[in-house]
């Protein structure tokens, strides 16, 4: 399991268990929220780990409203991976 995946699961669990922060490599990182949407996210090592916005009209917003737990891992403007209901999907492999 790669670091991205390991960190992803730690952050995924912290976000969906309502934690205020998450410990990665002995450092506490705050779980932040966008003031406009309330969407939770963590920025670490140039990556953004962000929960799916339930208000979005997309299929992912719909899934979140249905109760699925979805988090995205983004670097810059690229979606790197998705964790949904505890399953890690590497999105880089699909696009190559």
* Band of pLDDT at residue 96, cut at 50, 70 and 90: very low
| pLDDT number for residue 14 | 98
DSSP states of 42-89 as a string?
A: EEETTEEEEEPPTT-SSHHHHHHHTT--EEEEEETTEEEEEEETTEEE
Which region holds residue 87: left if phi is over 0, alpha if psi is between -120 and 50, else beta? beta
Domain count, the chain: 1
pLDDT in tens, 5-15: 999 999 999 99
Question: Which range of residues forms the domain containing residue 33?
Answer: 3-95
Count of CB atoms situated within 10 Å of the CB of 71: 23
Question: For the whole model, what pTM was predicted?
Answer: 0.92
Residue 13's nearest CA partner among 3, 23, 2 is 23
| pLDDT number for residue 2 | 82
């Amino acid at each position: 399991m790669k670091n991205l995946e390991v960190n992803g699961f730690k952050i995924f669990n912290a976000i969906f268990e309502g934690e205020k922060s998450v410990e990665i490599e002995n450092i506490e990182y705050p779980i932040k929220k966008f003031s406009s949407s309330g969407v939770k996210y963590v920025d670490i090592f140039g990556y953004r780990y962000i929960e799916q916005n339930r208000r979005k009209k997309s299929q992912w917003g719909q899934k979140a409203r249905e109760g699925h737990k979805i988090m995205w891992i983004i670097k810059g403007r690229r979606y790197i991976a998705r964790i949904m209901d505890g399953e890690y999907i590497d999105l880089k492999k699909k696009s190559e």
